[in-house]
A and B are shown apart, each in its own frame.
Chain A
Amino acid sequence: MSEQAGTEPRAPVQGAAAALEGALPAGISSAMDLRGHVRARCDVVVIGSGAGGAVLAAGLAEAGHSVVVLEEGGAYTKADFDLQEATAYPQLYQERGTRATADMAVTILQGRSVGGSTTVNWTTCYRTPERILSHWRQAHGLEFSEESLRPHFEAVERRLSIATWPEQNANRNNQTLGRGARKLGWEASPTRRNVKGCANSGYCGVGCPVDGKQAMHVTYLRDLVAAGGRVLADCRVDRIALTPDGGRARGVEASVLDRASGKTTGATLTIEAKVVVSSAGAIHTPALLIRSGLRDGPVGRRTFLHPVVGIGGVYAERIDGFYGAPQSMASHQYIDRGPDKMGFFMEAVPVQPMLIAFASGQFGAGLRGMMAQLPHLSVLIGLAVDGLLPGDEGGHIEVEGGAGDGGGRIRVHYPISAALRDAMAAMHEALAKVQLAAGAKSAFSLHREPVQLQSEADLPALRSAPYGALEHGIFSAHQMGGAAMGKDPARAVVTPSLRHGRVANLFVVDGSVLPTALGVNPSQTIYGLAHHARTAVLAATREAG
């Protein structure tokens, strides 16, 4: 199995390729060379090559099944990563890095390439906390426990070299978080990261230049290919094809995309499969289900974002937050703020020019003045844990009508609840305190007109500032939900084994199955759940003959 971390090549499974009809290239390749209409058949077709899709697909291929992974983004290696934000965001992110909620209030960072969001994520790894599992047991009828998930987490931790990043390696931006929090008497700890031979460059978000990050394209997708599986990039699944009675999935219909223009080339694909898996991520999986006519249950509902706000600190000394692992310290001091309050946790971000200029929301001379201090800036963030409070339904996904290239546009709607507004105010205050306690000369918010603080005496100005949509920057790098797992078909789209409630040979294996946000960075939960889902998907594949 793939869990034995290491690079020894695995013998390809004989017969896997033979089951494929049609002309799909081997290994990881681009669909852009395909012409006309291509038909192929395989055991399992997986839509999306990110955290969920890759972990699942590797296991299926290693068990001897023919597996094809279709990915709408491009296929890249470290040689393609020039570490320029101007290259990376258009190349490796959804909507060329411009994704946002329909009202423009929340900026959404989400990956789009072979490896999915793992190719650009910041490597912070946590097992799903017991407090979340216990909430899921009580409120969502899910029987997961730390014990039942342990083997899955251990397996992915081995394969992805997940380990604590020593605190002495933290860059100065993360050190401000650790130092400030502890000065205040708050908890702060080093994070665990999925890295091996990390150069501590700080460029996780634009594609790791040394393959130190154990992202999917250098780990599980390699295992998949070694076992005879295929990844076809630049290939967007438009629809899951169903039998006339809608009871089974027949396969998928896909379009080939021109990588440079993003437009369809005209070539199309039909892949027939015994089992179809949607791993297109929260936002795209619900959209795909809706487009395929699978509107069962709460599909597209309860989308959670871990909404993020930030506070900058200006330091006399250099911080150089553009360099060094972007997230290596975290504080969960306020993860539980009481029964009727939304909790939050605090982390750091890469202080690189595009990200910071965009996040500030300033313009003109004000923006220029702020940017001129870049080497002396620390930027820390708070992430609100949405979806736990009764009545917190988060956001929803809409697929607009419309033909033409790409069909209807996908829209994310995310109303800011009163509880979130309260959490955003609390996050601002906590982060400002951390910056000031860590020794910042001043701290500032990302409000339309930034609130400036020289000391805690200025906190009242922050408290009375407005909180909500388009009042200050709000961001999301963690999209969750939209096709929740659960026991009750009325409240869930997939079962606890991640099988679709009505279509027996359809699975959803990605962040969209999460019934709530997690209160920790989500990648490892998704890896673990995908590992857990291998058993059920294997059984379904065998069942289908």
Chain B
Amino acid sequence: MTTPREAQSGAPASASRRRLLQVGLGGAALLGLGGLGFWLWRPHSARVAPSDLKALDAGAWQILAAVAACICPEGKGFPSADTIGVASRVDALLAGLHPTTVSEIRQLLGLLENPASGLLLDGRIGSFSGADSETQAKILAGWRDSDIAVKRAGFKALSGLCASVYYSHPDVYAHVGYPGPPDYGNVRRKEAGAAPAAPAGPTAVPAEGAR
């Protein structure tokens, strides 16, 4: 069932190129391991999951929060992923996706966390959320560079979700030198409460565009 085959992405440019195992059946079996993880292991986390989760359960949320802290670490003045609420915001986003996609994300988190799959796939002892931040970063980089497509794709999915949510938060704008969107006075946005302080506004704006 888990015949490794060449990635859909076609033949490698050179014979030396490493092969990506396809997400097909092999991927499904791997994700199954992730599912198992939820039955056997509870995430090792001091974070308390909110009670109003929309897509994930508390365990998956805790793993995701650990991933988020690693993708978007605190420091150099940047707020922590926990302060920004990355895991809960990702949870809210996931709630709007196809249920199959949500369950794949849940399984992916289980696969990352599960010490059994960790031992099998990454040769490591212990869970993801229980590891120190340096080890966590190594594990994630290992997924990003893995020969197993489901891990590489999984890294892309999880890191993309966390980075998108973190860097689109107004509390992070000042740290990346983004003054935020200008206010054209057209928006009911003030009530939303998410607006940044009055931004500098675009530079070099012609008053009436081209015409």
Q: How many residues of A contact B (CB 8 A)?
A: 85
Neighbour of A470 across the interface among B12, B152, B163, B188, CB < 8 A:
B152
Is residue A85 within 8 Å, beta carbon to beta carbon, of the partner chain? yes
Q: Are B145 and A324 in contact (CB under 8 A)?
A: no
- Alpha-carbon gap, A417 to B7, bound state (A): 11
A-contact 0/1 string along B144-184, CB 8 Å cutoff: 11000100110011011111111111101101111001101
- Alpha-carbon gap, A25 to B93, bound state (A): 30
Q: Are A199 and B96 in contact (CB under 8 A)?
A: no
Residues of A within 8 A of B100 (CB): 400, 402, 409
Known contacts A171-B204, A199-B209; decide if A103 and B23 are in contact (CB<8 Å): yes
The A70-97 residues at the B interface (CB cut-off 8 A) are 78-87, 89-90, 95-97
The A500-516 residues at the B interface (CB cut-off 8 A) are none
Residues of B within 8 A of A352 (CB): 178
The A475-503 residues at the B interface (CB cut-off 8 A) are none
Interface segment among A132-140, A290-298, A368-376: the answer is A368-376
Neighbour of B209 across the interface among A89, A212, A368, A466, CB < 8 A:
A212
Known contacts A85-B168, A364-B73, A402-B100; decide if A421 and B13 are in contact (CB<8 Å): yes
Is residue B123 within 8 Å, beta carbon to beta carbon, of the partner chain? no
B interface, by DSSP: helix, strand, loop or mixed? Answer: loop
Neighbour of B205 across the interface among A107, A193, A200, A374, CB < 8 A:
A200
- Alpha-carbon gap, A263 to B70, bound state (A): 32
Considering only CB atoms, which chain A residue lies closest to B170 in the complex? A84
Within the complex, the shortest CB–CB distance from A335 to chain B, in Å, comes to 23
Neighbour of A418 across the interface among B11, B23, B73, B159, CB < 8 A:
B11
Residues of B within 8 A of A201 (CB): 181-182, 184, 202, 205
Considering only CB atoms, which chain B residue lies closest to A324 in the complex? B202
Neighbour of A415 across the interface among B9, B194, B210, CB < 8 A:
B9
Is residue A98 within 8 Å, beta carbon to beta carbon, of the partner chain? yes
- Alpha-carbon gap, A202 to B99, bound state (A): 34
Q: Are A82 and B195 in contact (CB under 8 A)?
A: yes
- Alpha-carbon gap, A433 to B211, bound state (A): 34
Is residue A437 within 8 Å, beta carbon to beta carbon, of the partner chain? no
| 7 cross-chain CB contacts under 8 A | A163-B211, A324-B204, A353-B173, A357-B168, A363-B137, A415-B9, A470-B9
Seen from chain A, the residues whose Cβ lies within 8 Å of a Cβ on chain B are 78-87, 89-90, 95-98, 102-105, 107, 161, 163-166, 169, 171, 193, 195-203, 206, 209-210, 212, 261-262, 320, 322-324, 352-354, 356-358, 360-365, 367-368, 371-375, 400, 402, 404-406, 409, 413, 415-418, 421, 448, 466-470
Q: For the complex of A and B, list the 8 residue pairs with the smallest distance between their C-beta atoms, beginning with the closest.
A: A83-B181, A198-B209, A469-B9, A323-B202, A357-B167, A354-B168, A104-B153, A82-B189
Q: A197-B208, A323-B202 are in contact. List 12 more A-B contacts (CB 8 A).
A: A82-B188, A86-B168, A169-B206, A199-B202, A353-B176, A371-B175, A374-B177, A418-B10, A466-B17, A467-B13, A470-B9, A470-B152
